[in-house]
């Protein structure tokens, strides 16, 4: 079961459309790119054992250790305006966090905008990309990377990254997380489509470790010292700068660090 390929036949969540259709790859450049380039139904899951060009936020690379993590993308076709794409990131963050808390009974949290963290380290990253035609969204690619069975990380990542195995000492069959996540994500995604982000934001704010923290926002190489005071419903972080003025920052252009470390 472990250090083996995912048995994708065991991906059978109790859902209406999330992960009901699956594209499985041993190797792919990026599941986000595969999802972008493949005609498919809303909810289709693209999953790989490893990615040769895994993508992170802000043009960063995403390391996708073979057979140890969950490297997946869900193609979605929501009827929403382009400015609301970031809200899908918030919905996904809440769904991943709730999945992991439910399965492992550990205090997983969200570092704004969408890192799932615990004990000061990152266990999951989310990269949501929208495909627009004539200013309208035709597809949203919800890319999720979860560190599951890694025993360790390179020296460069060791103080920033962790895995479910490193936290629990137990290896997990990755299909269990995928099934659980798909069910919880479908519930929140439907809530989002039917009623908007309002109720989900209550959960997001509750789980978010960035709120009320001293932060360093880095915009175009310039460092801004501030306190994170709120999150708007479009997913922008509200920060209060040292001169007392406030500023809304967008996750696409600004990176945020804790003053004393990653969180």
Minimal distance in Å, beta carbon 64 to ligand BTN? 6
141 to 160: interface string for ligand BTN, x by CB under 6 A: --xxx---------------
For 58, residues 6+ apart whose C-beta sits below 8 A from its C-beta are 252, 255
3-state SS, residue 25: strand
Cβ nearer to ligand BTN, comparing 112 with 244:
112
Q: Which of 62, 165, 181, 204 binds ligand BTN (CB under 6 A)?
A: 62
Q: Does 108 sit near ligand BTN (CB under 6 A)?
A: no
Residues 10-49, interacting with ligand BTN (CB under 6 A): 30-32
Q: Which of 43, 45, 55, 162 binds ligand BTN (CB under 6 A)?
A: 55
Pairing of strands 45-51, 22-28: parallel
Cα 159–86–37 angle (5° rounding)? 90
Minimal distance in Å, beta carbon 134 to ligand BTN? 26
Adjacent-strand bridge partners of 45? 22, 74
3-state SS, residue 68: coil
Q: Which of 23, 71, 165, 181 binds ligand BTN (CB under 6 A)?
A: 71
Q: Does 51 sit near ligand BTN (CB under 6 A)?
A: yes
Closest to 262 (Cα-Cα) out of 101, 145, 111, 150: 111
Q: Does 60 sit near ligand BTN (CB under 6 A)?
A: yes
Does the N-terminal peptide bond of residue 113 adopt cis geometry, omega within 30 degrees of 0? Answer: yes
Segment interacting with ligand BTN (CB under 6 A) among 85-93, 125-133, 179-187, 238-246: 125-133
96, 116 in Cβ contact below 8 A?
A: yes
Q: Does 125 sit near ligand BTN (CB under 6 A)?
A: yes
Cβ nearer to ligand BTN, comparing 240 with 262:
262
157, 163 in Cβ contact below 8 A?
A: no
Minimal distance in Å, beta carbon 57 to ligand BTN? 4
Q: Does 73 sit near ligand BTN (CB under 6 A)?
A: yes
Alpha helices in the chain, H assignment, sequence order:
31-37, 85-104, 164-168, 174-195, 198-207
Q: How far is CA 139 from the centre of its chain?
A: 17
Q: Which of 20, 40, 56, 66 binds ligand BTN (CB under 6 A)?
A: 56
Cβ nearer to ligand BTN, comparing 130 with 196:
130
User: Where does residue 131 rank: exposed (0-12), middle (13-18), buried (19+ CB within 10 A)?
Assistant: middle
Residues that bind ligand BTN (CB under 6 A): 30-32, 51, 54-57, 60, 62, 71-73, 115, 125-127, 143-145
């Amino acid at each position: 079961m472990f250090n083996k390929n995912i048995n994708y036949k065991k991906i059978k969540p109790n859902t209406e459309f999330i992960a009901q259709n699956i594209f499985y790859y041993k190797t792919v450049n990026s599941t986000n790119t595969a999802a972008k380039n493949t005609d498919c139904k809303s909810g289709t899951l693209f999953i790989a054992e490893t990615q040769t060009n895994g993508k992170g936020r802000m043009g960063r690379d995403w390391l996708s250790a073979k057979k140890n993590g969950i490297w997946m993308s869900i193609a979605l076709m929501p009827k929403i305006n382009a400015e609301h794409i970031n809200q899908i990131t918030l919905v996904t963050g809440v769904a991943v966090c709730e999945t992991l808390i439910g399965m492992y009974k550990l205090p997983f949290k969200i570092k704004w905008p969408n890192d799932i963290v615990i004990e000061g380290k990152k266990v999951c990253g989310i990269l949501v990309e929208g495909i627009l035609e004539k200013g309208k969204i035709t597809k949203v690619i919800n890319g999720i990377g979860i560190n599951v069975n890694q025993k360790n990380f390179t020296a460069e990542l060791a103080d920033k990254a962790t895995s479910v195995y490193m936290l629990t000492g137990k290896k997990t069959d990755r299909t269990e997380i995928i099934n659980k996540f798909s069910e919880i994500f479908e519930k929140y995604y439907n809530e989002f489509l039917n009623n908007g982000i309002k109720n989900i934001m209550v959960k997001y704010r509750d789980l978010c470790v960035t709120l009320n923290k001293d932060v360093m926002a880095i915009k175009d190489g310039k460092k801004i010292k501030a306190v994170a005071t709120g999150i708007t419903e479009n997913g922008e972080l509200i920060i209060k700068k040292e001169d007392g003025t406030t500023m809304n920052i967008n996750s696409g252009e600004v990176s945020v660090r804790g003053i004393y470390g990653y969180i």
